[in-house]
Amino acid sequence: MANISIRNVSKSYGALNVLRPFSLEIENGEFVVLVGPSGCGKSTMLKILAGLEPATEGQIFIGDREVTDLAPGDRDIAMVFQNYALYPHLTVRQNIGFGLKMRGTDKTEIDRRVDDAARILEVTPYLDRKPKDLSGGQRQRVALGRAIVRQPQAFLMDEPLSNLDAKLRVNMRAEIGALHKRIGVTTVYVTHDQVEAMTMADRVVIMQGGIIQQIAAPDELFNNPANLFVAGFIGSPG
């Protein structure tokens, strides 16, 4: 795992300025949540980190390595999206191991790493099932398994729980938190849900209209919101 450094990254689509120069230092092993209203630029920032969109300006470092111009597959990060499409015709074992197989990892090593990931996520009993025979929560754990089996330097998660019902969402928050404690991988997590942000983050980045309004630990944010927008957004007494 590694630290992530976002240095003066901006993004425009034609004349539309979506991210103003955006700088953020994320520590090794930190769980940082980007939160803000719909359209504020969260997904755009995550796509730029992943290499799925080019930045208009600025630089990105993962560990000591500048990755600004590297393809997604060369950045050593794993993404978990809201629409975690599992391959319906493959078993859980094959789904988790798919990325390693594509990379040409040998079968014994794939099996070993899939078994480790399955143990961490407690999906070992379902390894031979197909996705249709899993619950929503089990599927989401398999999606996480596909990310952790690659042993990336960092995880990027874009609203990974927003397709789940309210009860499961609360459970999965706790599970992702526990997973992070166990494997400690640097994580950038995007949500529009302030409760999710405040319960999961080491530090929260509050965004509005492509601008960072405040970066702080949840208790600091609650006790000392930088402005009325932040106070209103997180429901602090201000």
Residue 13 vs 87, nearer CB to ligand ADP:
13
Q: Residue 128 corresponds to which tokens in the numbers above?
A: 């031979």
| Of 156, 205, 177, 105, residue with least CA distance to 1 | 156
Site residues (CB under 6 A) for ligand ADP? Answer: 13, 16, 18, 38-44
DSSP string, 172-185: HHHHHHHHHHHH--
Residue 39 near which of Mg ion, ligand ADP, none (CB within 5-8 Å, type-dependent): ligand ADP
The option from Mg ion, ligand ADP, none interacting with 191 (CB < 5 to 8 A, set by class) reads none
Tell me the CA end-to-end span of the chain in Å, nearest whole number: 36
Phi, psi of 187 (to 5 degrees): -130, 135
CA distances from 183 to 18, 77, 122, 207 (A): 33, 14, 14, 28
Q: State in angstroms the smallest separation of the CB of 196 from ligand ADP.
A: 14
Quick one: 38 or 108, whose CB is closer to Mg ion? 38
Which of residues 11 and 75 has its CB atom nearest to ligand ADP in the complex?
11
Position of tokens 């969260």? Answer: 42
Cα 194 from Cα 234, distance rounded (Å): 6
Q: Which is nearer to ligand ADP, 44 or 138 (CB)?
A: 44
Look up residue 90 and give its amino acid: L
Partner whose footprint covers residue 13, from Mg ion, ligand ADP, none (CB < 5 to 8 Å by kind)? ligand ADP
Smallest separation (angstroms) from Mg ion to the CB of 42: 5
Q: Which residues bind Mg ion (CB under 5 A)?
A: 43
Minimum distance, C-beta of residue 81 to ligand ADP, in the bound complex (Å): 12
Closest to ligand ADP by CB, 41 vs 51, is 41
φ/ψ of 56, rounded to 5, equals -75, -40
At closest approach, how far in Å is the CB of 158 from Mg ion? 6
Minimum Å distance from CB 219 to Mg ion?
Answer: 26
